[in-house]
């Protein structure tokens, strides 16, 4: 059985275990369905027993699959540690570095800074991932992440940037012709879902970007992070409303790779840039427009 395994086998086995389907495993691994099915067939033929039971709801681990799962996860962790250690020893300021941040933060604040970084370090290939989910730093889904969270992962090191509260925003047109009972644009996020003023929910969106567009279009009042609302020339803070405490913004990196040269220059660049935005993020400097 041991001779039947290689690293690609383990990756496919674990992807299938976590996803429960060939389709989802192929998406996670960025390979074709046929490749996943073929590799699984070869793996099971080499072992001589099935690793999964095929049921109507997908793939479920067989008894043998459950027996080897822990060893496969240990092998994965060892390979990830090896990858981080090799990457950490790279002394070149050339090559890829992965940066993950929310699309709203990139568009509202950091897009010009990212352009400036590439001017200074033209040989660094910046791979930008737009996501609101915490990338798995141990698996190097990202090398550096900017996230708004109360609980950074334990393996991460970095810097706390600022508190990131929410504010009430609307278009000036809406406020000029404000109804007796306000219309609330709700977001599918606990801190921004319920009205904080007398209002009826007139629309719900799943993303802050969608709420922002609805507010620009005069559809009502809603909550946005201050770094979005205060930098949008089409929006104003609603009078007589207070900021709502939400989360904390961090720049984070896995401890194992923080001394990689490309990671180090990106970290130092982001620390300086984000320090300049601290007042905006915390809602204390509405860009001179309020």
Q: Please, which pLDDT band fits residue 136 given cuts at 50, 70 and 90?
A: low
Q: Which residues contact 213 (CB under 8 A, 6 or more apart)?
A: none
How far apart, in Å, do the first and last CA atoms of the chain sit?
68
The pLDDT of residue 287? 47
Q: Is the dihedral of CA 221, 226, 232, 237 positive or negative?
A: positive
Convert the pLDDT of each residue in 236-283 to its tens digit. Answer: 999 999 999 998 999 998 877 777 788 888 998 999 999 999 999 999
Integer CA distances (angstroms), 9 to 16, 41, 44, 226, 290, in order? 11, 10, 10, 47, 58
Q: What is the pTM of this model?
A: 0.67
Instruction: Give me the architecture of the 2-88 domain, per CATH.
Output: Orthogonal Bundle (1.10)
The CATH class, in words, for 92-290 is alpha beta
The pLDDT of residue 90? 61
Hey, where are the domains in the chain? 2-88, 92-290
């Amino acid at each position: 059985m041991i001779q039947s395994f290689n690293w690609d086998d383990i990756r496919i086995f674990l992807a299938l275990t976590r996803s429960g389907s060939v389709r989802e495993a192929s998406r996670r691994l960025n390979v074709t369905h046929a490749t996943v099915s073929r590799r699984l067939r070869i793996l099971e033929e080499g072992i001589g027993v099935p690793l999964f039971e095929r049921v109507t709801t997908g793939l479920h681990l067989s008894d043998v699959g459950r027996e080897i799962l822990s060893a496969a996860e240990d092998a994965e962790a060892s390979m990830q540690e090896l990858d981080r250690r090799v990457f950490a020893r790279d002394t070149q300021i050339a090559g890829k570095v992965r940066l993950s941040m929310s699309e709203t933060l990139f568009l509202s604040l950091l897009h010009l800074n990212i352009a400036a970084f590439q001017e200074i370090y033209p040989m660094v290939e910046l791979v930008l991932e737009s996501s609101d989910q915490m990338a798995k730093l141990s698996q190097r889904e990202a090398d550096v992440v900017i996230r708004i969270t109360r609980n950074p992962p334990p393996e991460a090191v970095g810097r706390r940037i600022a508190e990131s509260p929410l504010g009430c925003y609307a278009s000036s047109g809406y406020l000029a012709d404000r109804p007796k009972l306000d219309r609330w644009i709700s977001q599918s996020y606990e801190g921004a879902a319920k009205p904080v003023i007398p209002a009826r929910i007139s629309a719900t969106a799943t993303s802050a970007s969608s709420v922002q567009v609805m507010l620009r279009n005069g559809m009502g009042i809603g909550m946005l992070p201050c770094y979005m609302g205060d930098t949008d020339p089409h929006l104003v803070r609603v009078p007589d409303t207070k900021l709502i405490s939400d989360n904390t913004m961090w720049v984070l990196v896995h401890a194992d790779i923080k001394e990689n040269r490309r990671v180090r220059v990106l970290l130092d660049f982001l620390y300086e840039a984000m320090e300049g935005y601290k007042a905006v993020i915390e809602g204390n400097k509405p860009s001179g427009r309020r």
